Amino acid sequence: MSNASKPDPGRRRPWVVGVSGASGTPYAASVLRGLLAAGEAVDLVVSRASRLTLLDETGIAFRDAHWRSDLREWLALGADGKPGAFAVSEADLADVRYWPAGDLAAGPSSGSYPAKGMLIVPASTACVAGVALGLSKDLLQRVASVTLKERRRLVVTVRETPLSGPTLKQLVMLDEAGAIVLPASPAFYAGATHIQDLVDFVAGRVLDAAEVPHGLYRRWEGELRGGSKEEADPS
């Protein structure tokens, strides 16, 4: 039997993380930290527009040629902008591959490239439209189309408010195509006291959708807090 027909049990199967140009780069940082903490391999695609949101929200000018040091600086930032809030080493980034958004020949642009699926965090409405219509205008949108055609998990963490009629229709199109539409919509039942808690709640729900274990937020256990029902009942 030739080597070509042997299965490769050690084959790398990354999650592709696509960062598009919606507000919410702390969500992406939290998802990336969560994937790496869980031992997942990551392929990263950062859209051209997301460099503007990254610059605006973190002060980092993300560069293709220096992506590893820029990513490390980004992942170390707290959601409140505090540098060094998270310890991120070179070793933590060892299983990250970076693909420039203009590289339409990149590995994940083909369905034959092994990947578990794709998490778009955050997803702009332009990205939602492009993926819903199959535009593939850049690598991020192409990988999303590939993920859908290969019937792999695609999570679209849309961030916009209010939503227009066309975007709502495109979100339904994505749902019908098999994607999980997961609005960046933090909840307050998990006992958030800091901005990082709200960010981690959304990131944790993204990882839940990918079935990646994490401890990013406190799960609901069926008990209301803050007083008994009698105290809450005015009658």
Ligand X SMILES: Cc1cc2nc3c(=O)[nH]c(=O)nc-3n(C[C@H](O)[C@H](O)[C@H](O)COP(=O)(O)O)c2cc1C
Interaction site with ligand X (CB under 6 A): 20-23, 47, 49-50, 52-53, 56, 124-127, 159-160
123 annotated as ligand-binding:
no
Least spacing, CB of residue 163 vs ligand X, in Å:
9
Question: Looking at beta carbons only, is 139 or 207 nearer to ligand X?
Answer: 139
Please indicate if the annotation marks 159 as binding a ligand: yes
Residue nearest to ligand X (CB): 21
Of the pair 163, 192, the CB lying nearest ligand X is at 163
Structure tokens at 57: 């929200």
Show the CA angle centred on residue 173, arms to residues 170 and 175, nearest 5°. Answer: 115
* Residue whose entry in the numeric block shows the structure tokens 């991020």: 140
DSSP letter, residue 218 = P
* Structural element, H or E, at residue 55: helix 50-58
Residue 117 CB, shortest distance to ligand X, in Å, is 19
127: enclosing H helix or E strand = helix 125-133
For residue 111, say whether it is annotated as part of any ligand binding site.
no
Place of tokens 């937020």: 217
Answer yes or no: is 51 a known binding residue.
Answer: no
180 bridge partner residues: 155
For residue 124, say whether it is annotated as part of any ligand binding site: no
Supply the minimum distance, in Å, between the C-beta of residue 153 and ligand X. 20
Torsion of CA 235, 226, 27, 32, to 10 degrees: -140
Nearer to ligand X, 47 or 58 (CB): 47
- Indicate the residue among 124 and 147 with the shorter CB distance to ligand X: 124
Query: For ligand X, which is the closer residue by CB, 160 or 200?
Result: 160
Minimum gap (Å) between residue 125 Cβ and ligand X: 4
Cα 21 to Cα 92, 111, 123, 187, distances in angstroms: 25, 25, 7, 23
Answer left, alpha or beta for residue 180, where phi above 0 means left and psi between -120 and 50 means alpha. beta
CB of 50: closest distance to ligand X in angstroms?
A: 5
Q: 34 a known binding residue?
A: no
Q: Which residues are annotated as a binding site for dimethylallyl phosphate?
A: 189, 205
